[in-house]
Structure 1
Amino acid sequence: MTDTAVQLPGWRHIYSGKVRNLYEPADSVPGESDTLLVVATDRISAFDHILAPGIPDKGKILTQLSLWWFERLADELDVANHVVSTEVPAAVAGRAMVVKRLDMFPIEAIARGYLTGSGLAEYRTNGKVTGIELPAGLVDGSKLEPAIFTPSAKAAVGDHDENISFAVMTARIGHETADDIRVKTLQLYTTAERIARNAGIILADTKVEYGVDERGVMTLGDEVLTPDSSRFWDAELYRPGRPQESFDKQFVRDWLASEASGWDQASDTPPPELPDDVVEKTAQRYLEAYRRLTGRAFN
């Protein structure tokens, strides 16, 4: 399912992001309903581009895994989440949920327990990640103890999120709110890292989003701890100093960045279509992440 605006009885389409489509009740005043319908498509994005084709069943895996994590985290953490119901139109069954409409903060709340990706690139430049000074001599995949909070500012679709310091985040949303988000995010990461490790997966980093509901309660929204929003590594094969075997969309990023794709990321040309084998191997990684974490096969 890759359409940006599937017509759904009883719901009015209001927004399409890189992966998700949002709807509000058709009988509500536009922009004023208490709930939304969030539909996860099979679209996949990398390097701020939406790629083609999509990954089969990806939207269902993201939704089902998010629901699993929301339930697990509710048992261990003092943080509300936005899920209201999984009773959704038949056309989007398994890939959608009804959620609270939140006033979202324009922040990607990122926790890093291992150094890689954009954090590694920044570290190699100045020894820091979003202003946090790290020990010398770290390599790709080095464990960070304790985990660090490295926020970014959300960008519009097609633009690149901007890594920012905690001081900048505080200036934008206030000290009390920023501190609450940092504490909650690091608690979430620590809890999820333990759960994932017990399933044979290293949770290298993750990004989550928060908003406030109609009562002003800080609430976890969007997706949580999926292969789109996190880096999942095979714990058995983990070796610092090299790229890790992963169960996330890093496989797609690596292919796009390789000579095999023929794509120049610095150019204005859109990325090429993903070959069948890249689509299939990516789908298998998402399925394996789901299987290992939940302990059950996806169906």
Structure 2
Amino acid sequence: MSGFAVRPEPVQVPGLVHMHTGKVRDLYRNAAGELVMVASDRTSVFDWVLPTEIPDKGRILTRLSLWWFDQFADLIPHHVISTDVPEGAPDDWFGRTMVCRPLRMVPVECVARGYLAGSGLAEYEEHGTAGGVALPDGLVSGSELPDPIFTPATKAAVGEHDENITYADAASMVGGDTASLLRRTTLAVYSRGRDIARDCGILLADTKFEFGFDGEQLVLADEVLTPDCSRLWPAEQWAPGKPQPSFDKQFIRDWLTSPAVGWDRGGELAPPPLPTRIVEQSRARYVEAYERLTGTVWS
């Protein structure tokens, strides 16, 4: 069992129709048919949305995504029209809001991996592959792959697991031409992001992108290369063969599954609230990732 530990009530704003409450973002449609995405401070791990929020998280994710969209502008267009806050919305929406053009979304999570971790590591240890892609012998947790690989997954609803699929599975879902385009674009954007992050002292281990079509044009959507959709490791502490320190949610996962907490990730009980020190340390990791990548001080 999983889902929301405490399900939030959607904010009602005149002129906006609430469409969906996700793990982190709330989605609305305005009178012009545009999508209004609002990033909350919610955090999800192990398919649970936790009862404790991380202050400023939604603003950090939004600002970092906007920064990354600019870095990729010559590779692929993005879905953001503006960051204007709709009239009548709460003050808390400032800095969290992206007004986006509606797209025909591709029903595939486009995952790129440059290092071995997570479900890719688990598959490799069992089959010698990740996402069905054969990898060399002798790799360990945290190893850099010879070349980045595309390992798609199916999108899951809140409380359900994304499911890794092969490239052939993705092609059967969206067609061969579209699958090829997704793979090329995913690896191009990942490679650009990896190089930028590395220059900032961060290793981009893996990430997932979401794409949609505006007519025949492929468009980059949702969030991009944030600590919520990526594994980000401090380069100076990288040491293959063991779990890596990270700027992402692994810090919270490790606390929840530690013997001191004793929460059963496979059970039916919701995760416990996060203590103040874990909240503060988590926020500090998000801020540090933002500041390292953008070269600006968070304020």
Normalising to structure 2: TM-score of the pair?
0.94
**Deviations for 1:106-161, whole angstroms, at most 9, x for unmatched residues?**
11100000001111011111111121111111111000011111010001111000
Give the whole-Å Cα distance in 2 for the aligned partners of 1:156 and 1:236: 36
Pairing 1:274–2:271 present: no
Question: 8 Å contact 1:19–1:45 — kept in the other structure?
Answer: yes
Structure-1 residue corresponding to 2:20: 15
Question: 8 Å contact 1:48–1:159 — kept in the other structure?
Answer: yes
Give the whole-Å Cα distance in 1 for the aligned partners of 2:114 and 2:239: 15
Give the whole-Å Cα distance in 2 for the aligned partners of 1:4 and 1:222: 22
Q: 1:81 aligns with which of 50, 53, 78?
A: 78
Give the whole-Å Cα distance in 1 for the aligned partners of 2:161 and 2:298: 32
Q: How do 1:203-242 residues align onto structure 2 when only pairs under 5 Å count?
A: 203-213=204-214, 215-242=215-242
Give the whole-Å Cα distance in 2 for the aligned partners of 1:8 and 1:298: 29
Give the whole-Å Cα distance in 2 for the aligned partners of 1:216 and 1:21: 27
Instruction: Report the 3-state secondary structure (helix = DSSP H, G, I; strand = E; otherwise coil) of the residue aligned with 1:236.
Output: helix
Q: How do 1:1-299 residues align onto structure 2 when only pairs under 5 Å count?
A: 3-25=8-30, 27=31, 33=33, 35-75=34-74, 77=75, 79-89=76-86, 90-213=91-214, 215-299=215-299
Larger mean Cα displacement after TM superposition, 158-167 or 244-253: 244-253
For residue 66 of structure 1, report the CA deviation from its aligned partner. 0.1
Give the whole-Å Cα distance in 2 for the aligned partners of 1:265 and 1:249: 15
Which runs of 5 or more structure 1 residues have no equivalent in the other structure? none
For residue 4 of structure 1, report the CA deviation from its aligned partner. 4.3
Give the whole-Å Cα distance in 2 for the aligned partners of 1:4 and 1:173: 34
Letter of the 1:84 counterpart: I
Give the whole-Å Cα distance in 1 for the aligned partners of 2:294 and 2:193: 12
Give the whole-Å Cα distance in 1 for the aligned partners of 2:252 and 2:104: 32
Which runs of 5 or more structure 2 residues have no equivalent in the other structure? 1-6
**Deviations for 1:220-242, whole angstroms, at most 9, x for unmatched residues?**
10000000001110111111111
CA RMSD of aligned residues (A): 1.2
Give the whole-Å Cα distance in 2 for the aligned partners of 1:43 and 1:235: 27
Give the whole-Å Cα distance in 1 for the aligned partners of 2:8 and 2:39: 11
Give the whole-Å Cα distance in 2 for the aligned partners of 1:105 and 1:263: 35
For residue 264 of structure 1, report the CA deviation from its aligned partner. 1.0
Give the whole-Å Cα distance in 1 for the aligned partners of 2:9 and 2:182: 31
Give the whole-Å Cα distance in 2 for the aligned partners of 1:57 and 1:9: 25
**Deviations for 1:8-44, whole angstroms, at most 9, x for unmatched residues?**
343221111111000111x46xxxx2x1100000000
How many residues are paired up?
Answer: 289
Letter of the 1:232 counterpart: L
Question: 8 Å contact 1:3–1:41 — kept in the other structure?
Answer: no
Give the whole-Å Cα distance in 2 for the aligned partners of 1:267 and 1:136: 35
Give the whole-Å Cα distance in 1 for the aligned partners of 2:64 and 2:168: 33
Aligned identity (percent) is: 54
Give the whole-Å Cα distance in 2 for the aligned partners of 1:97 and 1:112: 27
